[in-house]
Amino acid sequence: MKFETTQAFALACDQQDPMAAFRALFAIPKQANGEDEYYFTGNSLGLQPDLAKDYVIQMLVDWQKYGVKGHFEGEYPWMPYHEFLTEQAALLVGAKNEEVVWMNTLTANLHFMMVSFYQPQGKRTKILLEDHAFPSDHYAVESQISHHGLDPKENMIFWKPREGEDLLNYQDLEQILEQYGDEIAMLLLPGVQYYTGQVLDMKTITQKSKAKGIKVGFDLAHAAGNIELQLHDWQVDFACWCSYKYLNSGPGSVAGCFVHLDHCQNTQLNRFAGWWGHDKQTRFKMENKFKATPTAEGWQLSNPPILSLAAIRGSLDLIQQAGGIKALRQKSLKLTAYLHYLLAQELGDKISILTPMNEAERGCQISICVNVPHFDGKALYQQIEEKGVTTDWREPNVIRVAPVPLYNSFNDVFQFVKILKECLA
């Protein structure tokens, strides 16, 4: 697509956008003047879909109507409710139905996965993660190593950007694998790096790591609902993701989990057990002998929060109506390319972009730094917020902007760059 810098071009793109009508199906926060905000923080908290609200209200009505019988009665009874979300979750991450489950929250799921997949033995005791990992991932890895009585300082290996660079370099990863491959028990990396927005080549990383005998896990918090994934075909061992960013299911909503078929059918695999992971046929016999369900559901602990799952179901149904992750990705590529174009044309060297230019290496998010001498990046972030633009600030010096295809428009992008330019003038 050949872009132009005029608002007329942006409006024409919106008129031709087959996904434009979905914007009206979300609750968009308002500015003081009553107009819609320019909301670009779907990478932190997605907006509320009307359908998610409707589904949650229906569950409240069922609770009122049926009481405890709601576990078995109504159109969507609570006992099997998480199963109503399974097929769409599998499509979202490129998995078999048996490989996915909605349970717990993201970091809790990472811990439960590491109980199964981080089993240090002999000299294979180390965990590989990125140097600028999201703090919660770092804390989880560090505490898992300590739980095994090992020293995190000696058993955490970091894949770091090169001096003066922001992005992770694959040659450096290959060197790490070559040097420490027989000492690394597990790898935990993001699908999309939260600070720079860099999309990692998960297929290649998995292949090269597993060739060294390393268990491979991914934190897909910024990838699920953002980019296309093929976790089963890539032979990823496990992955976890939250549902409140690009999956628009509300703050702190239930997270998703993937366990490859090779592992989830192994009911003897070490795990922390709970009754909801017990074989469904005998669960209510209340026998104190755990028998794991031979799917990803075997890692469940407790019956899930239905109101949260209802919000997720609403969001997943909306994604399906929009054509699924493939359709979302197609529009996302156009939106981010347009944002790149306008930033380069209108702001030039006043800003720098950390996110890769290659579309295969970026998702919705573009991470921006200000290059104007003596100009405070955080002050700029606050200025554009006062003008109706909601973005995300990350220390020490990045404004993260995420044009989300389901509810952001080309005109949103145009207005953002226009306001940014005015504030930098």
Work out the average pLDDT over 316-332: 97
Whether the per-residue pLDDT at 338 is higher than 80: the answer is: yes
Asked if residue 346 and residue 276 are part of one domain, the reply reads: no
The pLDDT value recorded for residue 108 is 97
Beta-strand pair 351-353/366-370: antiparallel
pLDDT tens per residue, range 218-265:
999 999 999 999 999 999 999 999 999 999 999 999 999 999 999 998
Work out the average pLDDT over 371-394: 88
Closest CA to 98 of 264, 310, 222: 264
Asked if residue 305 and residue 273 are part of one domain, the reply reads: yes
Domain count, the chain: 2
The answer to the question of residue 366 being in a domain is yes
pLDDT tens per residue, range 128-172:
999 989 999 999 999 999 999 999 999 999 999 999 999 999 999
Asked if residue 328 and residue 317 are part of one domain, the reply reads: no
Asked if residue 304 and residue 405 are part of one domain, the reply reads: no
Using DSSP, state whether 241 is helix, strand or coil. Answer: strand
Residue 425 pLDDT class (50, 70, 90 cuts): confident
The pLDDT value recorded for residue 205 is 98
Asked if residue 137 and residue 32 are part of one domain, the reply reads: no
Asked if residue 120 and residue 11 are part of one domain, the reply reads: no
The pLDDT value recorded for residue 12 is 97
The answer to the question of residue 46 being in a domain is no
CA distances from 200 to 79, 139, 218, 412 (A): 37, 21, 10, 27
State pTM to two decimals.
0.96
Burial of 397 (0-12, 13-18, 19+ CB in 10 A): middle
Work out the average pLDDT over 107-115: 98
The answer to the question of residue 2 being in a domain is no
The pLDDT value recorded for residue 321 is 97
Spatial separation of the C-alpha atoms in residues 272 and 137, rounded to whole Å:
19
The answer to the question of residue 49 being in a domain is no
- Provide the residue range defining the domain that includes 27: 7-36+324-424
The pLDDT value recorded for residue 186 is 98
Beta-strand pair 26-27/48-49: antiparallel
Beta-strand pair 48-49/238-241: unpaired
